[in-house]
Amino acid sequence: MEERIAIIGGGIAGLETASQLSKKGFDVVVLEKKQITGGHVEQWHQVFPDFRDASEVLKNWNQHEISGQIKIGIDITNINKTNGLFQIELRDGEQITANAVVIASGFDLFDAHKKEEYGYGIYDNVITSAELESFFNRKREYLIKSGKTPQRIGIIHCVGSRDEKVGNPYCSKVCCITGVKQAIELKEIYPQAEVFCFYMDLRMFGLNYEDIYKEAQEKYGIQFIRGRLSETSELQDGTVLLKVEDTLAGKPLKLSVDLVVLLVGMVKGSVNNELKKWLGIELDLFGFIKPPDAILQPNVTNVPGVFLAGACSSPKNIGDTVNDARSAVLAVEKYFNHLKG
Amino acid sequence: MIAEGKKRIWKDYQKEIADDRYYYARSCVRQNFFPGSEAAFLKILREELGKNVFDDPAHTSCTGIGYHADVVPLETTMTVIARQFALMTEAGYQNFVPSCITSFGLYSEIIETWHHFPETLEKTRKYLKQATGREFEIPDNLAHASDVIYKFRKEIGEKGKYRLVNHNTGEPLKIVEHIGCHYSKMFPHKGVGGAEYPYVLVGMIEEWGGEVVDYPERRHCCGFGFRQYAVKANRGYSLSCSHKKFESMEPYHPDAILTNCPGCPYFFDRWQYAISELEGKTYGENGFGIPVLTYEEMAGIVLGYDPWELGMQLHQVSVEPFLEKIGFPYDPEQKYKGKYGQDLGKPKVPEFLKVCC
Amino acid sequence: MAGWGYSLNKDRQIDFDANDRSVYFRVIGLEPSLGKCISCGSCSATCSSAVFTDLDIRKIFVLLSRGELRDLKKHLDDCMLCGKCILVCPRGVNTRNVILTIRKELEY
């Protein structure tokens, strides 16, 4: 009998897990809450570090390779584990039975409204990095409310990350490189504009990230100012006045920009609390799912038969996520081999 | 500007404000700066709204000036405040309404301290008993006087005879609002609207027909910190804080400034004169200044009270341009007449700042 | 006038909108490697003059890019052109040439 694996989440972690499990002969069913798969990557335009199109990345997962179903528009109402079998109840009444569950529910983006002083949702020309990607993808019609070509753009790092005041003291890892990437993309569209990145520390941890940073400075003239944004205000012409501390000069600095982009961090997936309630898995202090051994067994939870893949356990970039999904597949395989004896 | 964004934040920062039976604690120096304001508050609450307000002659200063200038130790401040509450309890009230914003901040701070450190509360009870033999209760509700006016802004607007609208053009007046730092910057949840986009004065202006000006230095302090300006050598800093705000609000051409602190309107009013003498610059129309009003004065004007009864002749920056804009009739002859019609003389006219005499 | 014993304090905020940053753009046009500077401070750390004078190369590059040009030339006169800063810069900025270029541009 074919073992059936339910994969909660149809983002790249879920898709890679499903694809690899299928190749190994398992029957998989992917449960995705939205109407399309691809998770957050589906909404991005170009991805770092090589600026390839996100749509190219997603082509990697051809639906036909995945033996089993991809169900979209799913709303899970309960999961029960009885006699080693998982019963997943859906809102429309359907029941799905599985021998194992892989949680690939990913992350949510920080709600920038919480940083009141940044004026998100109050001033017209303050947007998030996700909204900027939508603009690059032509899904958002304008960048500046008045339609004018921006002369100055400010990108703010660490919005909702490394910030005790909003309850997220951790680093979201990928926002810094996203900021540099978006700065370069903005300069390609508006070569005459000045782009500023306001950072605390620049986390260029990955392959080629430091080179991208250097290219951003050298080739594109993007200016990096180390210091936090304290507040935004709106001037009469709709431009946004920023007040930052220029730590390198040791003085406060104020400048007006046409657009502010907030690099919002990653927060726990909205479904994590319910998964804990249904399955008894553990969450860490910030709501991410916690494996008992995050270093050597990052995909195994405290509940036998329940596995993790992707950013549901911690912030990850695409490469990390794909690796993590493959590692989850090995963990699932090991689990069933062990069961068989 | 997306108005819904601000409304969303205001919904998060709502506070309980009692609706009757207030114990009113006056300010130390406010009567000197704006003599009619506290009397106007009492008149509005008692005569217009029919509320029970107790004006106790036995209460003292809250020691805010001394506490913030480091000359009064914390234990003394706690004991004095405990005495204020004891007087309130003895008079049979549970709702405390201070007139001064620093007082409000200090009462909030002390109540929070007692809440988080109960041993200090016990000590204070002991000290008060030893010093005066009194016992006290923490008030059920602590609200600033501007919160109370905010709560009844609708009733005041309905009873009002004048709106904050230019009676010639029908355009709403542009009004800059400024809250005292101690109102919500320390405890955002104790202020209506929080610290970033406070609503207590905005609510009044909007209800009475005006339009609020959001300018870049809106959140900046006016500089009326006791330590800043008490020493003459520091006063330049205070002056510069207000100057920064004036420079920032000037392009918006506001018709008036509304504040809810004793010190802020004092600074906004007097520093315009100081800046005019130092730099020859004025911020109002035609060489006048921008009129500065306290919230009681604004409420009084809306209700039609005589501006000279409200004490507006003592403003350095003439308020007549504001009164004329809203079509408020006033008698310039009565401006410098005493209570019995005697002539009080006229103040000297400044060199640069235009005033009405 | 006044003679009150106090007057308006000067604003120490860097006003980016008002400052003249044209010198910075001219310097970077003549010595493009300045664009790679990450203000790590390796240059200042190794500078021979920094120990006894107010010369702070890292800070001067930062202030130049913000358009804060007061006192820049005065401090740059303390540079002995020894070249230790170039030896140590991890990004490969030609710091000595930047200093010479700033000096020349500030002559105007």
Cβ–Cβ below 8 Å for A218 and C32: yes
B239 and C5 within 8 Å at the Cβ level: the answer is no
The whole-angstrom separation of Cα B156 and Cα B166 is 19
Task: Using CB atoms, pick whichever of C35, C59, C68 lies closest to residue A217.
Answer: C35
Give me the total of CB pairs closer than 8 Å, taking one residue from chain A and one from chain C: 51
Contact A255, A113 (CB under 8 A): no
What is the pLDDT at residue A165? 92
With an 8 Å Cβ cutoff, is B240 touching chain A?
no
Question: What's the confidence (pLDDT) of residue A339?
Answer: 86
Bridge partners, A244 (sequence order): A229, A253
pLDDT in tens, B213-222: 999 999 999 9
Q: Is A231 on the interface with B (CB under 8 A)?
A: yes
Quote the minimal CA–CA distance from B226 to chain C in Å.
Answer: 16
Report d(CA B111, CA B115) in Å as an integer: 6
Kindly state the average pLDDT of the residues B3-22.
89
As beta bridge partners, residue A254 has: A243, C15
Are C11 and B232 inside 8 Å of each other by CB?
no
Quick check: C102 and C23 in contact, CB under 8 A?
yes
Instruction: List subunits contacting chain A, requiring 3 or more Cβ pairs under 8 Å.
Output: B, C
Q: Look at residue B285 and give its three-state secondary structure.
A: helix
- Residues of chain C neighbouring A248 (CB-CB closer than 8 A): 39, 58-59, 62
Asked if residue A1 has pLDDT above 70, the reply is no
C31 within a domain of the structure (yes/no) = no
Please name the residue of chain A whose CA is at the shortest distance from the CA of residue C31: A218
Q: What pLDDT is stored for residue C107 in this prediction?
A: 82
Q: Identify whether C54 is part of a domain.
A: yes
Question: Where on the phi/psi map is residue B42: left (φ > 0), alpha (ψ -120 to 50), or beta?
Answer: alpha
Asked if residue C21 is part of any domain, the answer here is no
Predicted confidence (pLDDT) at residue B44 exceeds the cutoff of 80: yes
Percent of chain B's residues with pLDDT above 90: 76
* The pLDDT of residue A36: 92
Residues of A with Cβ-Cβ distance to C15 under 8 angstroms:
254-255
Kindly report the number of other CB atoms within 10 A of residue C2's CB atom.
10
- CB of A38 within 8 A of CB of A11? yes
For B73, how many CA atoms within 13 A lie in the half-sphere containing its CB?
Answer: 3
Q: In angstroms, rounded to a whole number, what is the distance separating the alpha carbons of residues B195 and B189? A: 8
Q: Summarize the confidence of residues A7-33 as an average pLDDT.
A: 94
Q: Is residue C1 part of a domain?
A: no
A301-323: average pLDDT: 95
Interface test with B, best of C1, C6, C7, C10 (most B CBs within 10 A): C6
ipTM of the complex: 0.92
Neighbours of B152 (CB within 10 A): 21
Neighbours of C3 (CB within 10 A): 6
Residue A214 and residue C36: Cβ atoms within 8 Å?
yes
Domain chopping of chain B, boundaries = 20-145, 153-334
Count up the domains in chain C and report the number: 1
Residue that wins the pLDDT comparison between A209 and B4: A209
Mean pLDDT for all residues in chain B: 92
pLDDT at A146: 84
Look at residue C81 and tell me if it is in a domain.
yes
Q: Does A146 touch chain B (CB under 8 A)?
A: no
For B82-109, write each residue's pLDDT tens digit: 999 999 999 999 999 999 999 999 999 9
Q: Which residues of chain C have pLDDT under 50?
A: 1
| C-alpha distances out from residue A257 to A242, B1, B107, B196, Å | 7, 15, 41, 20
- Nearest CA distance, A75 vs chain C (angstrom): 48
Whether the Cβ atoms of residue B205 and residue B19 lie closer than 8 Å to each other: no
- Please say if the pLDDT value at position B17 is more than 60: yes
Nearest-CA distance C2 → chain A (Å): 30
Higher pLDDT, B230 or A131: A131
- Residue C2 has what pLDDT? 62
Q: Which residue out of C66, C69, C75, C93 would a mutagenesis test of the A interface target, given it has the greatest number of A Cβ atoms within 10 Å? A: C66
Residue at C24 is within a domain? no
Per residue in A138-186, pLDDT tens?
Answer: 877 788 888 889 999 999 999 999 999 999 999 999 999 999 999 999 9
Output the pLDDT for position C108: 56
Rounded to a whole number of angstroms, the distance from the CA of A89 to the nearest CA of chain C is: 54
Please, are residues A108 and A270 in contact by the beta-carbon 8 Å criterion? yes
**Is A235 touching C (CB cutoff 8 A)?**
no
At B250-267, the pLDDT tens digits run 999 999 999 999 999 999
Position C68 in a domain: yes
For range B19-44, the mean pLDDT: 92
pLDDT at B297: 95
| Residue B72 one-letter amino acid | V
pLDDT of residue A147: 84
The helix-helix angle for C95-105 and C22-30 (nearest 10°) equals 130
Residue A300 has a pLDDT of: 96
Separation in Å, CA B240 to CA A284, B234, B255? 49, 10, 22
Query: Is A282 a residue whose pLDDT tops 60?
Result: yes
Q: Give the residue among B150, B164, B160, B201 at the shortest CA–CA distance from B180.
A: B201
Average pLDDT over residues B320-324: 93
The CB density around residue A110, as the number of other CB atoms within 10 Å, is 23
Q: Class of B153-334 per CATH?
A: alpha beta
Q: Is residue C57 part of a domain?
A: yes
Percent of chain B scored above 70 by pLDDT?
100
For an interface test with C, the pick among A229, A255, A256, A257 (most C C-beta atoms closer than 10 Å) comes out as: A255
Q: Which domain holds residue C100?
A: 42-105
Distance from CA of B139 to the nearest CA of A (A): 30
- Which chains form contacts with chain C, at 3 or more CB pairs under 8 Å? A, B
Alpha-carbon span A119 to B126, nearest angstrom: 48
Q: Would you state the CATH architecture of domain B20-145?
A: Up-down Bundle (1.20)
In angstroms, the separation between the Cα of residue B198 and the nearest Cα of chain C is 25
The region of weakest confidence among A51-65, A267-281, B78-92 is: A51-65
* Consecutive H or E run containing C100: helix C95-105
